C-alpha cells in the first residue's frame, strides 16, 4: 500500500505556480487578484478562507476579502458580486459555501461572471467541462485528478466508482474520470443515496472516489484488494483529547481499508491540501485570460 501524500505534492505544485507567477509578472503581466466573500460565522469556512488568502499572499497574488454577517440580504450579496464582476483589477471571485438558508446558492453561483468563476461552479463552466472545453476545474476534482497524475495511477479502462453526486465533487469527478484524457478513460459508476446494494459496485471498483459526506462510510468488506481509494470526506468529530476539541475524519474507515489498497489518500493530508492548488491555478489562468480569451 502506498500512501498518497497530498501535503507534499501540494507544496511542490505550489512552488511551481509561484515560479509561473513571477515569470508572468516579470514579463509584464498583471498580478493575479483573488477576491473572497465570506458570509456568517461558520468556523470551518473561516479557516478555509483564511488559508486561501494566506496562499495568495505566499504565492505573489493580491487578495481581498468581503465579509458579511449571516443576516445579509441576498440582494446585497448579489449587488456586491456584480460590482466585483465589473472591477477589472479582480481576476477571480469565490463565495465561500455554505451560505445561510435565506440565500440561494444557485442565484449566487449564476451571478458570478463565468470568466471570474475560479471555483468552476457556474453552469457555463460546468457545461464546458462536460464537453471537454477549457474551463476552471473546481478545486476538489482538480485535486483528485492531479494526485492521480502525480502518482502515475493507471486509469484507462479501469472501473472507477464515485460515491456521491454533488455538484462540487461527485458529478465533476465522474466527468473527468470518463473523459478521453489522462487521468480519465475510466468506466465510471456513480453511486448515491438511492443506490441499492452499494457494495456490489464498490467490490468491482479499481478506483473508488469517496465523496458521500458520511464519516468512515467505506468499510473493508466493501473494497477488493489492490483498489485505489481517494477519500474526499472531511468531517469534524468531537474529540476532547485534541487541542482543537475535534479531529478530522474522512469517508473511509482508514485503519481497516488502507491495508487492502494499492494507493490511498489520508485525511487530513490527502485531497484537502490539493484543493487549494486548484484555486491558485484557476486564478492564474484567469489573470492570463487562458480560459476566456476576451473578457
Ligand atoms: N465550501 C466547501 N468547498 C468549497 C469550495 O471549493 N469553494 C467554495 N466557494 N466554498 C466551498
> Average pLDDT of the chain?
97
Q: Which three cell numbers stand for residue 58?
A: 505566499
239-259: burial string, b at 16+ Cβ within 10 Å, e else: eeeeeeeeebbbbbbbeebbe
What is the tens place of the pLDDT at every residue in 225-251?
A: 999 999 999 999 999 999 999 999 999
Give the domain ranges of the chain.
28-115, 139-271
> Quick one: which of 9, 24, 13 has its CA closest to 61?
24
Whole-Å CA distances, 179 to 170, 174, 268: 14, 9, 28
Per-residue pLDDT band at 295 (split at 50, 70, 90): very low
Q: Which top CATH class is 139-271?
A: alpha beta
Asked whether residue 253 carries a pLDDT value surpassing 60, the answer given is yes
**For 82-98, what is the mean pLDDT?**
98
Pocket, ligand 1, Cβ cutoff 6 A: 94-97, 119, 139
Q: How far is the CA of 95 from the centre of ligand 1 (A)?
A: 8
What is the tens place of the pLDDT at every residue in 121-132?
A: 999 999 999 999
Whole-Å CA distances, 59 to 12, 21, 56, 231, 274: 12, 7, 5, 27, 15
DSSP helix/strand/coil, 211: coil
Q: What is the DSSP string of 213-250?
A: --TT-B-GGG--TT-EEEE---EEEE-TTSTTSEEEE-
- Which protein residue's CA is at the shortest distance from atom 1 of ligand 1? 97
What is the tens place of the pLDDT at every residue in 186-230?
A: 999 999 999 999 999 999 999 999 999 999 999 999 999 999 999
What is the tens place of the pLDDT at every residue in 52-80?
A: 999 999 999 999 999 999 999 999 999 99
Same fold yes or no, 28-115 and 139-271? yes
Contacts of 54 (CB under 8 A, 6+ apart): none
pLDDT reported for residue 294 = 61
CATH number of 28-115: 3.40.50.10860
Q: How far apart are CA 60 and CA 46, in angstroms?
A: 21
- Which protein residue's CA is at the shortest distance from atom 3 of ligand 1? 97
- Which protein residue's CA is at the shortest distance from atom 8 of ligand 1? 96
**For 100-110, what is the mean pLDDT?**
98
Mutate to test the pocket of ligand 1, among 47, 94, 144 (most ligand atoms within 8 A of CB): 94
Amino acid at each position: 500500500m502506498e500512501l498518497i501524500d497530498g501535503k507534499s505534492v501540494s507544496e511542490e505544485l505550489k512552488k511551481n505556480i509561484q515560479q509561473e507567477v513571477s515569470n508572468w509578472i516579470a514579463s509584464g503581466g498583471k498580478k493575479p487578484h483573488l477576491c473572497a466573500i465570506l458570509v456568517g460565522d461558520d468556523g470551518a469556512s473561516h479557516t478555509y478562507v483564511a488559508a486561501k488568502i494566506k496562499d495568495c499572499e505566499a504565492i505573489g497574488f493580491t487578495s481581498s476579502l468581503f465579509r458579511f454577517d449571516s443576516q445579509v440580504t441576498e440582494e446585497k450579496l448579489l449587488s456586491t458580486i456584480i460590482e466585483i464582476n465589473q472591477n477589472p483589477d479582480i481576476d477571480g471571485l469565490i463565495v465561500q459555501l455554505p451560505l445561510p438558508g435565506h440565500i440561494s446558492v444557485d442565484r449566487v453561483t449564476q451571478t458570478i461572471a463565468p470568466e471570474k468563476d475560479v471555483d468552476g461552479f457556474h453552469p457555463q463552466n460546468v457545461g464546458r467541462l462536460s464537453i471537454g472545453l477549457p474551463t476552471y476545474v473546481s478545486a476538489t476534482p482538480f485535486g483528485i485528478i492531479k494526485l492521480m497524475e502525480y502518482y502515475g495511477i493507471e486509469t484507462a479502462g479501469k472501473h472507477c466508482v464515485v460515491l456521491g453526486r454533488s455538484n462540487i465533487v461527485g458529478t465533476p469527478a465522474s466527468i473527468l474520470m470518463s473523459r478521453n484524457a489522462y487521468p480519465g478513460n475510466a468506466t465510471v459508476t456513480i453511486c448515491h443515496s438511492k443506490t441499492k446494494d452499494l457494495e456490489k459496485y464498490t467490490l468491482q471498483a479499481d478506483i473508488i472516489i469517496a465523496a458521500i459526506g458520511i464519516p468512515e462510510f467505506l468499510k473493508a468488506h466493501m473494497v477488493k484488494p489492490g483498489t485505489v481509494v481517494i477519500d474526499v470526506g472531511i468531517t469534524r468529530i468531537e474529540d476532547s483529547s485534541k487541542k482543537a476539541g475535534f479531529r478530522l475524519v474522512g469517508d473511509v474507515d482508514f485503519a481497516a481499508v488502507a491495508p487492502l489498497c494499492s494507493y490511498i489518500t489520508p485525511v487530513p493530508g490527502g485531497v484537502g491540501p490539493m484543493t487549494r492548488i486548484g484555486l491558485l491555478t484557476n486564478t492564474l489562468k484567469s489573470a492570463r485570460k487562458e480560459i476566456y480569451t476576451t473578457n
